[in-house]
Structure 1
Amino acid sequence: MTASSAETGGSPAQAGTIITVAATGAHAKADVPTLPVGSEEVAAAAAACERVGASVVDLEPRHDTAVPDVVSAVRGRTDLLVRVAAYARSETLATLLDSGAQVLTCPVDAPEEFVSDLRAGASERGLAVHYEVRELDDLPKLRQLCAGDSLPVHVVLVFGAGMPGDIGTLSAAVEGLPAGAEFTATGLGAAALPVMLGVLAAGGHLRVGMADTLEYSSGVPVRDNAQLVARASGLAKIAQRMPLSVSHVRGLFGLIE
């Protein structure tokens, strides 16, 4: 039984949906003026997304902001769980581990030593580790990594680049996950909406946000992150997989208050 079905006591169709917002990503502010970048901008965007159904915010290291400052601002204005992507951009791994985030996302294709250090550092600090997969070929390594994990396994699947956002690839990715793992998925660009619909049918969780797509529909720019979260929340409700509260998600992630 998956964690979400265990929580609701029902079938996957009745289970709830974790909605994550990836608010800023790596886009340049000069290229996307409406993108929230600074600490207070991201915190304001996160608060707006929390009001329409988000329970998790995904943050990436950027060259023009400090991750701990952004995490502090978001946690100061919201109750959202903060998940930081452990990408080697402008911050050291130690900085990311001590940023104040409750969860770190480990790219499965990262060097073995980096993955080992991340997992050890997170364990020492009581943080959850999730795993990011962008290629079907990374799934065997993922299963090996998670073989001895005691905490719930959660995987972030990213479609639209290495993995096409079609139903066949989505099905293959879900089939290749470790037994009992929960997953969140997102589609980049034009893959955003097809992946969202497929993931709801597959019993997964949703990530949306301006880090992943800058168009609401073909040729129509996204107004803001809350617009994308509101759509995801609405579709989850239509699918009878209601958006989950932060307290429920905290339990699913194995986090202690």
Structure 2
Amino acid sequence: MNPPVIITCALTGGIHGKEANPNLPEQPDEIVRHGVAAAAAGAAILHIHVRNPDGTNTMDVEIFREVHDRLRAETDAVLQLTTGGSPLLPVAERIQPVKLGPEMCSLNMGLLNFFIRGEQVFFPNHRSDITWFATEMAERGIRPELEVYNSAMLEEVAHLIEQGILTPPYVVNLVLNTPTQGGMRGTPANLQDMVSRCHDLPADPRDIRINVSSMGRTQLPITTIAMAMGCNVRVGMEDNVFWARGELLRDNAQLVERAAAFAGLLQREIATPDQAREILGIPDRKTEKTT
């Protein structure tokens, strides 16, 4: 029997804005509303970016604090704050959400060139940055999700594991079909190859937790294949703003509902937030409150 599938919902992201879909949540009230609905639809984890009042990306700790605290009060979902933010933001700013001590943070595992509105933008995630971010997370008991955009980044995951900074289990998110130079296309062959390579990491295979994301029109087929392979999945308007060709999404919950429906057809149970915490080695909130 496959374990329960953990569905993550990436609510807004750091690349496109309301020009891509006017329903994309940008301000705290919108993000919280989408997050509550996504959690109710079956998302065990909410992946969170925030925006300035003008819709531009920010790593402002106080905006993160507001969204984090409100979602924590209104849902039981695991809250995962980004440290990717946007390729347009400095590395020193991108680490700021770690200071809030959330249950999880994303941690990018290598260098990329993004293409944003016709511009080439370098996304720095040097090995020294990765080590710095991982150390800060480990000191605060934050479970990192290791963001892997190509097979070479799995070598950085291996290096990080061998440094002994992190404790198992190791959560690896395979991110496919990004608008980048250096990213892997969202194809079944690339997915199969990267999942296979995850089993070669220098850790007990039982300590590896594989999550799969894929952008745009590849989101539905790749996440469905991933669930059939026994992986966890991420959906959400950060990764895809369309329900179908030519039809914009109403909200994030639509994508979560569809992922949950496909999981059911594959006879996989949907993980609750507490089950996700157990699978990912995150203390449950009851334990956290009494310690």
> What's the TM-score, normalizing by structure 2?
0.79
Unaligned runs of 5+ in 2: 111-124
**What amino acid does structure 2 have at the position aligned with 1:204?**
C
Gaps (5+ residues) in structure 1? 1-10
Structure 1 equivalent of residue 133 of structure 2: 118
Residues 186 and 214, structure 2, Cα contact 8 Å, conserved in 1? yes
Asked whether the equivalents of residues 68 and 95 of structure 1 are also in contact (C-alpha less than 8 Å), the reply is no
Please say if residues 60 and 84 of structure 1, whose CA atoms lie closer than 8 Å, have aligned partners that are also in contact.
yes
Q: CA deviation at 1:212?
A: 0.3
Q: Residue 136 of structure 1: SS of its match in structure 2? A: coil
SS of 1:98 mapped into structure 2:
helix
- The aligned residue for residue 48 of structure 1 is 37
Q: Contact 1:103–1:130 at 8 Å: present in 2 too?
A: yes
* Paired residues of 1:61 and 1:87 also in contact (CA < 8 A): no
Change (3 A) 1:99 1:29: farther
TM-score (norm 1): 0.89
Hey, what does 1:34 align to over in structure 2? Answer: 23
Which letter does structure 2 place at the counterpart of 1:20? T
Aligned counterpart, 2:77: 80
- 1:1-257 to 2 correspondence within 5 Å? 11-12=1-2, 15-26=3-14, 27-60=16-49, 62=51, 63-64=56-57, 66-87=63-84, 89=89, 92-109=93-110, 110-147=125-162, 148=164, 149-161=166-178, 162-177=183-198, 178=201, 179-180=205-206, 181-256=208-283, 257=288
> What's the offset of the Cα at 1:61?
5.0
Query: Which segments of structure 1 move beyond 3 Å, counting only runs of 4 or more?
Result: 61-65
Distance 1:30 1:163 in 2: 26
Q: C-alpha displacement at 1:155, in angstroms? A: 0.7
Give the letter for the 1:35 counterpart.
Answer: L
| Matched-pair contact (CA < 8 Å) for 2:224–2:259 | no
RMSD: 1.8
CA distance in 2 between partners of 1:205 and 1:94 (Å): 25
Q: 1:122, 1:128 within 8 Å by CA — same for their partners in 2?
A: yes
Q: CA deviation at 1:101?
A: 2.1
Which amino acid in structure 2 is aligned with residue 39 of structure 1? P
Letter in 2 for 1:186: S
Identity of aligned residues (%): 27
Look up the SS of the partner of 1:168 in the other structure. helix
Query: How many corresponding residue pairs?
Result: 245
Tell me by how many angstroms 1:73 deviates. 2.2
Q: Contact conserved, 1:186 with 1:192, CA < 8 A, in 2?
A: yes
In structure 2, what is the Cα distance between the partners aligned to 1:99 and 1:68? Answer: 7
Partners of 2:217 and 2:105 lie apart in 1 by: 27
Matches of 1:86 and 1:174, distance apart in 2:
24
**Deviation at 1:69?**
2.4
Deviation per CA, 1:145-192: give whole Å up to 9, x if none.
123343201111111131111111001010111333111111100111
State the SS of the aligned residue for 1:28. Answer: coil
CA separation of 1:35 and 1:159: change in aligned 2, threshold 3 A: same
Q: CA deviation at 1:64?
A: 4.9
Most deviating of 25-34 and 121-130: 25-34
Partners of 1:119 and 1:31 in 2: CA distance: 33
Deviations 1:50-100 (A, max 9, x none): 111111001135445532222122212211111122126277255211234
Distance 1:140 1:164, change over 3 A: same
> Contact 2:101 / 2:142 at 8 angstroms: preserved in 1?
no
Alpha-carbon distance in structure 1 between the residues aligned to 2:21 and 2:32? 18
SS in 2 for 1:101: coil
The one-letter code of the counterpart of 2:155 is: P
- Residue 8 of structure 1 is matched in structure 2 by none
